[in-house]
Structure 1
Amino acid sequence: MAREPGMSVRLKLTLSYAGFLMVAGALLLAAVWVSLLRYIPDGVAYGLPWFPPNRSDPLNGLSLPAAIVLWMLLLFGLVGGWLLAGRMLAPLDRITDATRTAATGSLAHRIELPGRSDEFRELADAFDAMLARLEAHVAEQRRFAANASHELRTPLAITQTLLEVAREDPTRDVGELVERLYAVNTRAIDLTEALLLLSRADQRSFTRVPVDLSLIAEEATEALLPLAEERGLTIETAGEVTAAVGSPALLLQLTTNLVHNAIVHNVPGGRVWVTTGAEGVTVENTGERLSAELVATLVEPFRRGSERVRTDHGGVGLGLAIVNSITAAHDGTLTLTPRDGGGLRVTVQLPTPAGDTRGRTAAG
C-alpha cells in the first residue's frame, strides 16, 4: 500500500513528551502564580497601570525566571524524549529488521528478544512462533512436492518404457500392452485425485453441515466389504450416533481411507474393527507389529512403512496423509497407536455441534 511520508513514531513520541512537560511546567507556574497573589496587599492589583507599583510584591520579577524554566523544560523534553523514545522503540527496530529478512525468503531468522515480558516482547515471541510454523510448513511443502514429483514420474516412466518396447517389437501382444498401460494410467489418475483431495482439505474450502459419523462409518464399511471378503478378512462395526460438523464428502473419504488402510495392511484371516462413540471414529486392525517410531511417520505423504509392500489395492501412499489433513481441516485430533498384538489403532475425534450434550459411549 502506497502511503504519503509522515513523521516517525520516535519523533511523535518526542514531541508528545516535550509537550507534556511544557503543559505540566505551565500548570505548575500558574499554581505558583496564584499562590503568590495571596500575598499582595489589599487594594493593590499587580500589573494594573492605575495602581502605584509595589516593590515588595513577590510577583515582581517572576516573569523572566518563569520563561527560562519553560525553555529549559522544552529543551529537556526534546532531548530526553528523543533518547527515551529511541530506547523504548529499539525492540520494534529488531522486529522490523526480522520482518524484512523474512520478506526476502529467509525464514530461519529469529528475533529472540531478551528481557521480561511486555507488549514488544509478546509481539516478538508471536512473530518467532509464526516464523517457526512457516518454516516448518514450507519445508513440508517442499518435501511433499519432491515426493509427489517422484510418485508422478514413476507411472510416466513406466508408460514411456512400455511404448518404447512396443515400438521396437511390433509383434508384441497388443492386449497385454493395453492392460499394463491401463493399470499404470489408473494409478496415475488415483494419485492425481488424491493430491487434489489433499489440497482441498488443506485449503478448508468446504461447507460445514451436521453429520452423523456412525452413518458415514457404515457407508464406508459397506463400500469396502467386497475387498475385505476377497482378502478373507472380517469387519466388525459397532457404536452409536456420533454427531459432528463438517463436510460429509471429506469425512466419508476420511473413514474410507481408514478402513481401506486397515484392510490392505492386514494379515490373512485378520480382522478390522470400526467403532463410533464419544471418542469419535476408531478403526483397528490386526497385522504386523509396528514400532511407535514407525507409526509416528505414517501420516507423512507417501509413507507406507518400511515393511509394507505395494499391492494392487495398496493405494498411493497418501491415505493417512489425507486423513490427517481432513482431520486438521475439521479442527479435530488424529491419534495413531500400535496394537500390542500387531496392527494399528487409529482414532479421529472431531468437535461436536454446539448444544449437543447427548452422552455417548464407544462400543468395544
Structure 2
Amino acid sequence: MDRAPGPSARLKLTLSYAGFLMLAGVLMLGAVWVFLLRYVPERAMLINADDRLDNGVFPVRGVLLDVFAPRAAAVLAFLLVFGLLGGWILAGRMLAPLTRITNATRTATNGSLSHRIRLPGRKDEFRELADAFDTMLARLEAHVAEQQRFAANASHELRTPLAISKSLLDAARTDPDRATDPLVERLHAVNTRAIDLTEALLLLSRAEQRSFTPEHVDLSLVAEETAETLLPLAEKHGVTIETSGDITPTSGSQALLLQLTTNLVQNAIVHNLPGRGTVWIHTGAHADTAVLTVENTGERLSPQLVSTLTERFQRGTERVHTDHAGVGLGLAIVKTITHAHDGTLVLTPRSAGGLRITVELPLATDTTPRWSR
C-alpha cells in the first residue's frame, strides 16, 4: 500500500515526551506562583535598622514577579531542550526491538523464511510480538516446504498414469494386430486412477482452504451411513464392520466429515486381515469433545511407521500389501479435514495388530435445532 510520508514514531514519541515534560514544568511553576500569591502580601512597609518607621511602601509581589519570571522561563527552556534530547534517546531505545522486527519482516517479504528475530530480554509487549512473529515464520516455512514436496509428489503421481497411457498407445500403434480389449481395460484402469487422484487433490485443496459453510452434524449418523456404503467392500474382503456409540453432535461440513469417515473405514477394511478381519467404529461425546474412533485388526505396526501414515502419497501398499493401492492421500485428507474443523487426529498401533485412529472435534452446543443426515 502506498502511503504519504509522515513523521516517524520516534519523532512522535520524542515530541510527546517533551510536551509532557513541559506541561509538568508549567504546572509545577504555576503551583509555586499560586502559593506565592497566596502567602506573600502584595505590599509591605520597610523598617530601618534603628527601628524607626519608614512610611514608604515596598511592592513585594511586583519585585517577586520580576525575579521569578525570567528564572521560570529559563527552567522551561531547559526542560524543553532536556525533554527533546532525552525523549529522542529514550524513544530510540524503546523502539529498537520494533526496528529488528521490521527488518525481519522485510527479510521474510524477500523470501527468506528461515530468518528469526530471537529478541533477548524479559517478556514484554515487543518480545511477545517478536515471539509470535517467529512462530508464524516457522509455520510458514514448514507449510511452504510441505507445499513444495506436495507439488513435486503430485506432479510425479499425475505423470505416472499419463506415461503409462502413452506407452500403451504407442505399443498399440506399432502393433496393429494386437488385441484391443486388454489395452482398453488397462487404459480404463489408468484413467480411473488419474481421475481418483485428481478428485483427491481437489478435495484436499478444498479442505485446506476451509471453503465450506459449517452446519450441525451427528457423527453417529455419518458413521452408520459410511458403514452401509462400504458394506459391499467389507464383504468382498471378508471383513466385519461393527458400529456403536451415541449421538455425537459437532459442527462442520457434512460432506467433508462423511469423506473423512469414509477414508478411515475404507483404509481399515483394505489394510486388514483378509477373510477374518474386523473394523470397529465408535462415536461418543466426552466433555466438550466429539470423538470418532475407527479400529481394525491387521498386521502389527511400529510407532515409527504409524507416525508417517498421514504423509501425502504414503500408500497402503507401502504398509500392508493388498490389491488396493489407492492414491496415497486417504489419511492425508483425513488429517487436513480434521484440522479444518479445529480437531485433532491421533494414530495408535494396537498391541494385537492393526491400528486405532481417533478423531476429536469440538462438540456442538445443546441448542442445536436439527442434525444433518
Is the TM-score greater than 0.5? yes
Matched residues in 2 for 1:285 and 1:121: separation? 48
Question: Hey, what's the Cα distance between the residues in 2 that align with 1:308 and 1:157?
Answer: 26
What is the aligned partner in structure 1 of residue 48 from structure 2? none
SS in 1 for 2:230: helix
- Give the corresponding residue for 2:253: 247
For 2:306 and 2:278, locate their aligned partners in 1 and report how far apart those are by CA, in whole Å.
19
Q: Say whether 1:25 aligns with 2:25.
A: yes
Amino acid at match of 1:21: L
**1:142 matched residue in structure 2:** 148
SS in 2 for 1:275: strand
Displacement, 1:43? 4.7
Is structure 2 residue 132 aligned with structure 1 residue 121? no
- Structure 1 residues 346 and 55, CA gap change in structure 2 (3 angstroms): closer
Aligned counterpart in structure 1 of residue 163 of structure 2, from 157, 163, 167:
157
CA distance in 2, matches of 1:96, 1:25: 36
**Aligned: 1:284 with 2:295:** yes
* Separation of aligned partners in 2, 1:62 and 1:233: 101
Q: Which residue of 1 aligns with 2:5?
A: 5
Give me the whole-angstrom Cα distance separating, in 2, the residues matched to 1:249 and 1:168.
46
Task: Write the distance in 2 (CA, Å) between the matches of 1:89 and 1:99.
Answer: 15
Shift of 1:355: 2.5
CA contact under 8 A between 1:211 and 1:243: conserved in structure 2?
yes
Residue 279 of structure 2 aligns to a residue whose secondary structure is: strand
Q: Which residue in the other structure is 2:273 paired with? A: 267
> Match for 1:36: what amino acid?
L
> Following the alignment from structure 2 to structure 1, what is the Cα–Cα distance between the partners of residues 70 and 123?
46
What do residues 172-199 of structure 1 show as CA deviations (whole Å, max 9, x unaligned)?
Answer: 1111111100000000000000000011
Residues 275 and 282 in structure 1, CA contact (< 8 A), matched pair in contact too: yes
Offset from partner CA, 1:324-347 (integer Å, 9 cap, x none):
111111111211100111111111
The CA deviation at 1:60 is 3.6
Query: So what's the TM-score if we normalise by structure 2?
Result: 0.89
| Inter-CA distance 230–42: structure 2 relative to 1 (3 Å threshold) | closer
One-letter code aligned to 2:361: L
- What residue number does 2:333 align with? 322
Tell me the alpha carbon deviations over residues 147-185 of structure 1, each in whole angstroms, 9 at most, x when there is no partner: 111111110111111111111111111111111000000
| Greater alpha carbon shift after TM alignment, 341-350 vs 278-287 | 278-287
Report if the CA contact (8 A) 1:289-1:342 is conserved: yes
RMSD: 1.9
Alignment partner of 2:93 out of 68, 84, 87? 87
Q: Counterparts in 2 of 1:1-364, with a 5 A limit?
A: 1-38=1-38, 40-43=40-43, 54=59, 57-268=63-274, 269-278=276-285, 280-304=291-315, 306-309=318-321, 311=323, 313-355=324-366
Alpha-carbon distance, 1:307 to partner = 3.6
Q: How far apart, in 1, do the equivalents of 2:294 and 2:175 lie?
A: 49
Identify the range of structure 1 (190-199 vs 240-249) with the bigger mean alpha-carbon deviation.
Answer: 240-249
- Answer yes or no: is the 8 Å Cα contact 1:335–1:347 preserved in 2: yes
Residue 267 of structure 1: CA displacement? 1.6
5+ residue gaps, structure 2: 45-55, 369-373
Q: Secondary structure at the match of 2:352?
A: coil
| Cα distance in structure 2, aligned partners of 1:35 and 1:242 | 76
Structure 1: runs of 5 or more not aligned: 45-50, 358-364
- Return the alpha-carbon distance in structure 1 between the equivalents of residues 89 and 43 of structure 2: 50
* Percent identity between the two aligned chains: 69
Contact 1:266 1:286 in 2 (8 A): yes
TM-score by length of 1: 0.91
Pick the structure with more strand per residue. Answer: 2
Distance 2:235 2:8 in 1: 74
1:58 CA displacement: 3.6
1:36 CA displacement: 2.4
Classify 1:293/1:356 alpha carbon distance in 2 versus 1 (closer, same or farther; 3 Å). Answer: farther
Amino acid at match of 2:12: K
Q: CA deviation at 1:95?
A: 0.4
Q: Distance in 2 between matches of 1:143 and 1:109?
A: 21
Quote the Cα distance in structure 1 between the aligned partners of 2:367 and 2:67. 81
The separation in 1 between residues aligned to 2:341 and 2:319, in whole angstroms, is 31
**Structure 1 residue 310: deviation in Å?**
6.0
